[in-house]
Amino acid sequence: MSNRHTLTEQIVQAFRDHGTATAIGVLITSLLALAAAIVRKAFTNEAMLQRLERELEAQRERHDERRDDDRAADADRLERIERDIGEIRKMLFEAFRKSSD
């Protein structure tokens, strides 16, 4: 069988065995343990949030760098397309001019 007792059972048993002062001591100790658990959980959650924020910022930076690289590649591609269109236009103009002579 389990040796675990509820807080109420511990307080009642301490009151029966040792009186009011011990029962109050058990109650205070239990409340302090509960407060410590809550504070530890809060700090753990805060640390986790900070870590997630750092990871999110790193992910955003990687995404921005990738987007900048994609924009640079698109600009280069657009420049080549415009240059090719200009060369084709010149060739067509020359061909048209030669055919009219």
Short-list 45, 12, 17, CA closest to 30: 12
Q: Is residue 70 part of a domain?
A: yes
Range of the domain at 43: 7-100
- pLDDT bracket for residue 92 (50, 70, 90): very high
- Summarised one tens digit per residue, pLDDT across range 16-70 is 787 777 777 878 888 888 888 888 887 888 888 888 999 999 999 999 999 999 9
Q: Is residue 67 part of a domain?
A: yes
pTM of the complete model: 0.46
Q: Is residue 55 part of a domain?
A: yes
Give residue 44's pLDDT. 84
Per-residue pLDDT for 1 more than 50?
no
CA distance 21 to 33: 18
Per-residue pLDDT for 93 more than 80?
yes
Q: Is residue 74 part of a domain?
A: yes
Q: Is residue 46 part of a domain?
A: yes
Tally of domains within the chain: 1
Q: Is residue 73 part of a domain?
A: yes
Q: In which region does residue 5 sit, left (phi positive, over 0), alpha (psi from -120 to 50) or beta (all else)?
A: beta
Q: Is residue 2 part of a domain?
A: no
